Amino acid sequence: MGTFSETRGRTLLKAVLWNILGLAVMALVGLAMTGSVALSGAIALVNTALGFLFYVGYERIWARIAWGRHG
């Protein structure tokens, strides 16, 4: 049986889509907590940029680990 792997393109697309969702949620939470569109937007952008970078790295590391895979 073969090992499933994930292409970099798939990892990248997943990261982009996940971070768009996270950006929207973080902006709404920031707006609710601060009342400032500018501040909540800045917080959301920084959070999204860092989250994107860490997510891609995290996924690429897990793509190399065979533990827990079937097939």
Encode 12-37: b = buried (16+ Cβ within 10 Å), e = exposed: eeebeeebeebbeebbeebbeeeeee
- What confidence tier does 71 reach under pLDDT thresholds 50, 70, 90? low
Model pLDDT for residues 25-62, shown as the tens digit of each residue: 999 999 999 999 999 999 999 988 998 899 889 989 98
Amino acid at 71: G
| pTM beyond 0.75 | no
Q: What is the DSSP letter of 4?
A: P
Query: What is the pLDDT at residue 27?
Result: 94
| Range 13-27 average pLDDT | 89
